[in-house]
Amino acid sequence: MLKYAARRLLEAVPTTLGILLLTFVLFNVVSGGSPALTILGKGANAKSIEAFNKRYGYDKPLLVGKWEAKDGKEAWQGVFDSQFFNFMKSVATGDLGYSAKMNEPVADVLKRGVGPSLSLTVPVLVSGTVVALMLAMIAASRRGRAADKAILFVSAVLMSVNYVVWVLLGQFAFAFKAGWFPIWGYGGVEYMILPVAIGVVSSLGVDVRFFRTAILDEVFKPYVLTAKSKGLSGFAVMTRHVLRNALIPIVTFISLSIPHLFTGSLLLESFFGIPGLGSVSINAIQSADLATVRAVVVLGALVYQAVNLATDLLYALLDPRIRL
């Protein structure tokens, strides 16, 4: 197990470096580098643009710094003074740059958004997973019967309705007409109940069908028949044997959703006025705040990489037969 974990950790190093390199190329090369004209306006003069680039480091070479001479001798001191090396150094030290639009460090902007995003997305993921697993186990244990058909029918309906429709319907019926929940803002628990419920309902159809399929792949295997022949109840067989062996695909499916816990839900936060990372991302894109957009992309990519690593290590715990 330790050897497996060590090899997997080493494999993550070049992948992480590749993520950072690709992010740098996208934001500093493909996008055109300095956002001076977007931030300052097309009427900005050359002196203002030069001062902007110097302040935020856009005047430095992209990948490799200039070979400088000192006291008549060549020196290495300027080679690593480039946008790329400064970007790598800042990410390693937790410095995500400076927001020219918000006039404050990007890290402070993101810190304000992490709390609201997690207070929305964590309940959605946990509640949705628990409810979907329960329904999937009921459907799988009664395969082909009325309960299974009813759950599959409801799941198909939930999958067929667009996500935005659920948001608008929930706001209109339960917030505007009934007045049960606030329609906009972020405060106490009452502000989160409706968006969390909509998030759970909108994802339930896909989750239930996937979990049901994963469980059915295990239901008819010999070890299940052996467990039943020993006199174990259907509930015990399903929870102690079937569910445990079906966890590999289920964990994989859930792990794909975890990075979104930190980057926020763009639609839910926008429609309900929740000041999370989703709203931060949209505002940064609209205002061409390149440093903030880049930080959100880097954060999402690194979280995704960390989740993949944790998932692979969890595979080895769930099934000792798994090795690289």
- For residue range 16-53, list pLDDT tens digits in order: 888 888 888 887 776 665 667 766 767 778 888 888 88
Q: How many CB atoms lie within 10 A of CB 283?
A: 18
* Structure letter (DSSP) for residue 64: S
pLDDT tens-digit readout, 105-152? 888 888 888 888 888 888 999 999 999 999 999 998 888 899 999 999
Element of type H or E holding 98: strand 98-99
pLDDT tens-digit readout, 314-324? 887 777 766 65
CATH superfamily, with its number, for domain 106-318 = MetI-like (1.10.3720.10)
Mean pLDDT within 66-94:
71
pLDDT-derived band at 81, boundaries 50, 70, 90: confident
Q: Which residues contact 74 (CB under 8 A, 6 or more apart)?
A: 67, 68
So where are the chain's domains? 2-99, 106-318
> Hey, is 223 helix, strand or coil?
helix
Query: Does 84 score more than 80 pLDDT?
Result: yes
Query: Does 184 score more than 90 pLDDT?
Result: no
Q: Enter the tokens of residue 113.
A: 């958004």
Query: Does 261 score more than 90 pLDDT?
Result: no
Q: Which long-range contacts (CB under 8 A, 24 or more apart) does 183-187 make?
A: 183/272, 184/272, 184/273, 185/272, 185/273, 186/116, 186/272, 186/273, 186/274, 186/275
Q: How far apart are CA 89 and CA 77, in angstroms?
A: 15
Q: Which residues contact 151 (CB under 8 A, 6 or more apart)?
A: 135, 136, 138, 139, 208, 212
Q: What per-residue confidence (pLDDT) applies to 123? A: 92
Angle at 216 between CA 212 and CA 220, to 5 degrees: 165
User: For all residues of the chain together, what is the average pLDDT?
Assistant: 82
Q: Which residues contact 73 (CB under 8 A, 6 or more apart)?
A: none
Q: What per-residue confidence (pLDDT) applies to 68? A: 61
Percent of the chain with pLDDT over 90: 17
Q: Enter the tokens of residue 266.
A: 């763009």
Q: How far apart are CA 221 and CA 241, in angstroms?
A: 11
